[in-house]
C-alpha cells in the first residue's frame, strides 16, 4: 500500500494525504480523539475562532433536509483568548496539520485574532471564513464582491505568519471572480464551498424550522454545486483549491480532485460516521491502485471535457 503517494502540498505546507475535516464539524479535534487516530489525517480544521466568545443562536439550530442539513449555530465558540489557553495545548500534541479557522466582523477583528495566533506554535495554516451565511446583518460578508475579498485578503496576508486559505461562499454571482481577487491579493489557497443559504418551514405552525429563520445547507445535497464551483475556479486560478461540500467517502474525494481540488474537507459526514475520514484515506489508496495511478497529485484537474 505504501507505494501510493497521497501527499499534497498547499501553501508550502506538506500534508500526509489530501483529507481534512471541515470547520464547524470537528470541534477542536478533542471530541474525535476517542473515535479515530487523528494522525492518519492530512489535517484538521478547527471550529471558527472569533475575537470575542460567542454563545451562538437560540435553538433549534439544526434540521435535517433531504440528503442534507440546515444549520444556524451562529459561530458559537470560546473566543480567541480561551482558544489559545484551552484548545491550542491539545492541538499542539497532534501529529497532523492543524488549520485554525478564523472569523471576524471587521478587518480589525480578523487582524487582532491573527495577531494573537501569530504567537502560537502548532498551527500549520489559517483558514479565513469570509462567508458564514448565518450571522447575516452582523457582517462577515467579505465574500460578496471581488473588491472586499481582495482588501481583506491583502490586509491579512500582510500580518499573518501562517499561510492563508480563504474559504469562499457559493452564495455569490460569480465565485471565480472572487477567487481570482483572493489570489491576486496573495492568498495561498482557497477552500470551497461554505454552506448554501437555505430555510425550512413548518406548515402546521407556520414557523421556520430554525430560530434564525435561514441557515446553511450542507451534506450530500450540495455536492453537485460544490463540484461545479471547484471546476469553475480551477480554470481561473493557479493556487491550490480545497474542495468541500457533501463529501462522504473516498469516491467523493476522487471526484473533487478530478474536478480540480488539491485536497478536500469532510464536513457533515463527520456527524454521521465519526470514522469517515480515516476510512476514506484507506479507500483512496485502493482507488489509486484500481485506476493505476501512483500519486494523488497526478489526479488534480484531470477532468475530461
Partner 1 sequence: MIQHPSVPIIKNEKLSKDLFKIVFRSKDLASGLRPGNFVHIRVSPEMDPLFRRAMSIYSCENDTFSVLFRAIGKGTGLLSKMREGDTVDILGPLGNSFDPPDKDETVILVAGGTGVPPLHFLAQWLLSNYGFDGQQILFLCGISSADDLPLSEAVEHLDIRMRTSSDDGSVGFKGYVSELLKTEALPYDIKKLRLYTCGPVPMLREVTKICAEQGIRCQVSLEGHMPCGIGTCLGCVVQSTRGEDEFDRICMEGPVFDSNEVLI
Provide the binding-site residues for partner 1, judged by CB under 8 A: 24-27, 31-32, 34-35, 55-56, 58-64, 66-69, 71, 73, 76, 219-220, 248, 268, 270-275
219: left (phi over 0), alpha (psi -120 to 50) or beta: left
Which CB atom, from 26 or from 142, has the smaller least distance to partner 1? 26
* Nearest CA among 223, 284, 278, 221 for reference residue 251: 284
CB of 258 to partner 1, least distance (A): 21
Helix 107-117, helix 146-159: angle, nearest 10? 30
For strand 62-65 and strand 43-45, is the pairing parallel, antiparallel, or unpaired?
unpaired
Q: Which cell numbers hold the place of 298?
A: 497526478
Which CB atom, from 218 or from 300, has the smaller least distance to partner 1? 218
CB of 81 to partner 1, least distance (A): 17
CB of 43 to partner 1, least distance (A): 17
56, with CB counted inside 10 A (0-12, 13-18, 19+), is middle
11: left (phi over 0), alpha (psi -120 to 50) or beta: left
CB of 28 to partner 1, least distance (A): 9
283-to-4, 44, 249, 269 alpha-carbon distances in Å: 12, 19, 8, 15
The active-site residue, picked from 132, 182, 229, 276, is: 132
Catalytic, 295? Answer: no
Q: Please say whether the dihedral angle defined by the alpha carbons of residues 250, 255, 260 and 264, taken in this order, is positive or negative.
A: negative
CB of 58 to partner 1, least distance (A): 7
Q: For residue 196, give the 3-state DSSP assignment.
A: strand
Which CB atom, from 68 or from 133, has the smaller least distance to partner 1? 68
Which CB atom, from 72 or from 181, has the smaller least distance to partner 1? 72
Q: Is the bond preceding 193 in cis, omega lying within 30 degrees of 0?
A: yes
Q: Kindly provide the residue ranges of all beta strands, DSSP E only, lying in 30-96, ordered along the sequence.
A: 43-45, 62-65, 68-71
Active site residues: 132
Amino acid at each position: 500500500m505504501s507505494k501510493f503517494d497521497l501527499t499534497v502540498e498547499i501553501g508550502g505546507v506538506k500534508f500526509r494525504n489530501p483529507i481534512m475535516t471541515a470547520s464547524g464539524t470537528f470541534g477542536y479535534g478533542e471530541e474525535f480523539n476517542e473515535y479515530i487516530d487523528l494522525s492518519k489525517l492530512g489535517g484538521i480544521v478547527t471550529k471558527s475562532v472569533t475575537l470575542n466568545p460567542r454563545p451562538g443562536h437560540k435553538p433549534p439550530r439544526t434540521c435535517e433536509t433531504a440528503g442534507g442539513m440546515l444549520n444556524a449555530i451562529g459561530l458559537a465558540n470560546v473566543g480567541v483568548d480561551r482558544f489559545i489557553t484551552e484548545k491550542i495545548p491539545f492541538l499542539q500534541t497532534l501529529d497532523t496539520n492543524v488549520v485554525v479557522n478564523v472569523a471576524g466582523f471587521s478587518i480589525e477583528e480578523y487582524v487582532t485574532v491573527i495577531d494573537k495566533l501569530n504567537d502560537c506554535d502548532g498551527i500549520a495554516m489559517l483558514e479565513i471564513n469570509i462567508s458564514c451565511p448565518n450571522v447575516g446583518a452582523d457582517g462577515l460578508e467579505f465574500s460578496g464582491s471581488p473588491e472586499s475579498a481582495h482588501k481583506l485578503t491583502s490586509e491579512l496576508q500582510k500580518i499573518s505568519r501562517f499561510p492563508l486559505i480563504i474559504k469562499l461562499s457559493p452564495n455569490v454571482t460569480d465565485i471565480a471572480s472572487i477567487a481570482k481577487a483572493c489570489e491576486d491579493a496573495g492568498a495561498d489557497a482557497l477552500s470551497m464551498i461554505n454552506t448554501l443559504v437555505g430555510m425550512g418551514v413548518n406548515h402546521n405552525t407556520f414557523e421556520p424550522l430554525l430560530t434564525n429563520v435561514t441557515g446553511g445547507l450542507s451534506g450530500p445535497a450540495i455536492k453537485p454545486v460544490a463540484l461545479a464551483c471547484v471546476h469553475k475556479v480551477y480554470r481561473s486560478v493557479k493556487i491550490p483549491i480545497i474542495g468541500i461540500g457533501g463529501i462522504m467517502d473516498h469516491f467523493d474525494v476522487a471526484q473533487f480532485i478530478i474536478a480540480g481540488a488539491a485536497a478536500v474537507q469532510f464536513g457533515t459526514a463527520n456527524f454521521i460516521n465519526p470514522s469517515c475520514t480515516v476510512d476514506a484515506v484507506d479507500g483512496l489508496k485502493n482507488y489509486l491502485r484500481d485506476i493505476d495511478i501512483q500519486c494523488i497529485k497526478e489526479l488534480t484537474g484531470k477532468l475530461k471535457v
